[in-house]
Amino acid sequence: MHKKRGMLRLILLLSIALGISINSRAQENLLSDVSYLYLEKLIASAKENYPRLKSFSSQVNAAKQDLTGAKTSWLDPFSFQYVSRSNQVNTNSVDISTADILTGYQFGVSINPGTLLAKPSQIKKARELVKVAESNLAEYNLQLEAEVKTRYFTYLQYKASLATTANSYLDAESNLKSIKLKYQKSETTLDEYNTASIAFNSASLAKIQAEASYLTAKASLEELTVKKLEEIK
């Protein structure tokens, strides 16, 4: 009974020590692995390729086109007409009873006052829509930049954690092989062998979890860059 309690206590201490070691090493590696130059390249890739940002850019272009259309539609309220009149007939004689007083081309202009008065407000509205579209684009640029930074730092965190976890796995594996060899030679006890085996299994599970977290963080970052990280130099 006492041996079992001692073994459980030893496993707990090893797990705590392993966790502290992983966290401290991960923090050190994280700070040293940050590359702000590479981060700027990631942000540039996201701004160039991320589909939703392209959608905001298209909205700005559409709003500007509407403004241009509103500015060039000042002639819409005006209606231009012309009439061609002539007294000439198939013969050389002129029928006085049907002859028009005015001959040649006659021009006329009509104006729609309601449409004309509405033009300034339409142009003003179009300008405001351009500003709204540009503000939305600027805001999303900031949001996208912040999200890339967050996912990049998370990616580095799990990358550093994976490295330290892999080292701990190798240490646990080496320790298990050593104790197994000693146990086969009757140089150690079964409890020590079981403890090393449990520690190795814990390290193996931690390594698998760290690999999954790293791959998930990498995929999450590549979702924004729309490129594999290996392609961004």
pLDDT tens digits, 129-151: 889 999 999 999 999 999 999 99
Q: Which residue do the tokens 């961004």 mark?
A: 232
CA 6/CA 192 separation, integer angstroms: 11
Examine the pLDDT at 18 and tell me if it is beyond 80: no
Examine the pLDDT at 173 and tell me if it is beyond 60: yes
**Alpha carbon 67 to chain centroid distance?**
29
Stretch 175-198: mean pLDDT: 92
Reported confidence tier of residue 42, pLDDT bands at 50, 70, 90: very high
Q: Which domain holds residue 60?
A: 2-76+114-231
CA 114/CA 197 separation, integer angstroms: 88
Burial of 194 (0-12, 13-18, 19+ CB in 10 A): middle
Q: What is the CATH number of the domain that holds 12?
A: 1.20.1600.10
Q: Which residue do the tokens 């684009």 mark?
A: 137
Reported confidence tier of residue 67, pLDDT bands at 50, 70, 90: confident
Torsion, Cα 64 68 71 73, to 10 degrees, reads -130
Report the pLDDT value the prediction gives residue 103, as an integer from 0 to 100. Answer: 54
Answer whether residue 20 is part of any domain: yes
Interacting residues of 6 by C-beta distance below 8 A, sequence separation 6+: 191
Is the full-model pTM beyond 0.85?
A: no
Answer whether residue 143 is part of any domain: yes
CA 214/CA 222 separation, integer angstroms: 12
Answer whether residue 93 is part of any domain: no
Into how many domains does the chain fold?
Answer: 1
The first and second tokens of residue 40, run together, are 């700027």
Examine the pLDDT at 1 and tell me if it is beyond 60: no
Answer whether residue 71 is part of any domain: yes
